Amino acid sequence: RKEVEQDPGPFNVPEGATVAFNCTYSNSASQSFFWYRQDCRKEPKLLMSVYSSGNEDGRFTAQLNRASQYISLLIRDSKLSDSATYLCVVRSGGYQKVTFGTGTKLQVIP
Amino acid sequence: GAVVSQHPSWVICKSGTSVKIECRSLDFQATTMFWYRQFPKQSLMLMATSNEGSKATYEQGVEKDKFLINHASLTLSTLTVTSAHPEDSSFYICSAISGRGNEQFFGPGTRLTVL
């Protein structure tokens, strides 16, 4: 089993739709969780950290479920500019162990 | 926010040559930097953790003699791909964690093509 697993997609959704991605992780000792966004041929950029209580930033909502060992990202009112690959990142053991998921590709269609 | 730069942004070289990639933290000191490699349609894979003033820690399967890492100062880490081969062609990305927070900042990446 991979340490961090994501559905690669692609998720093709119309503008204005709501879309959700999940990411499962295998290490129960994982401490920090993040969602990054990566545009084609660019470096990943932090979208948001994921807190135990869940957190929201505008149209984006992140949730953590430690019992089931997954995190989720919900995007409301999708924009064309949201088209990108969304990477789930799990950190354990301090800064020394950072694991990326393979990413979920989102394509928002006009 | 914090900025990490990489140089060069792309490089094409002949098989057998060595290529050096620089990673700089521009407005913060980074005692630890990370080097990743990303093949097309795959995720970032951590290659090594670069520690200022000490030897790098390599991930399993990454040859330390082939991928030389030097972290000579708090703002600069270099990755040298020695005797590059076509299978080393990839997108190499460095990152650093700002001491002020928990965020990992990525450089823009270096696209290496070995002919």
pLDDT in tens, A14-58: 999 999 999 999 988 888 899 999 998 888 888 998 988 889 999
- Nearest by Cα to A21 from A10, A30, A29: A10
Q: What percent of chain B has pLDDT over 90?
A: 62
Residue bearing tokens 């951590």: B46
Both structure tokens of B90 = 């990839």
- Nearest by Cα to A89 from A99, A97, A80: A99
Q: What percent of chain A has pLDDT over 90?
A: 67
User: Which of B91, B104, B109 comes nearest A98 by C-beta?
Assistant: B104
Average of pLDDT values for A96-106? 85
Across-strand partners of B36? B46, B93
Contact B43 A102 (CB under 8 A): yes
Contact A98 B102 (CB under 8 A): no
| Per-residue model confidence (pLDDT) at position B27 | 84
Please give the angle made by the CA atoms of A73, A74 and A77, to the nearest 5 degrees. Answer: 145
- The number of angstroms, rounded, from the C-alpha of A30 to the middle of its chain's C-alpha atoms is 15
Contact B102 A49 (CB under 8 A): yes
| Per-residue model confidence (pLDDT) at position A40 | 86
Q: Rounded to a whole number, what is the distance in Å from the CA of A63 to chain B's nearest CA?
A: 18
Is residue A95's pLDDT more than 60?
Answer: no
| Per-residue model confidence (pLDDT) at position A31 | 84
Query: Cis link prior to A14 (omega < 30° from 0)?
Result: no
Q: How high does pLDDT run on average in chain A?
A: 91
Amino acid at residue number A58: G
CA distances, A46 to each of A37, A51, B80, B96, B98 (Å): 6, 14, 27, 13, 13
Instruction: Pick out chain B residues at pLDDT < 50.
Output: none
| Per-residue model confidence (pLDDT) at position B102 | 61
Interface residues on B facing A, Cβ-Cβ cutoff 8 A: 32, 34, 36, 42-46, 49, 57, 91, 93, 97, 102-104, 106-109, 111
Interface size between A and B, measured as CB pairs under 8 A? 40
Q: Which residue of B has its CA nearest to A9?
A: B41
Both structure tokens of B64 = 């330390």
- Nearest by Cα to B104 from A41, A34, A74: A34
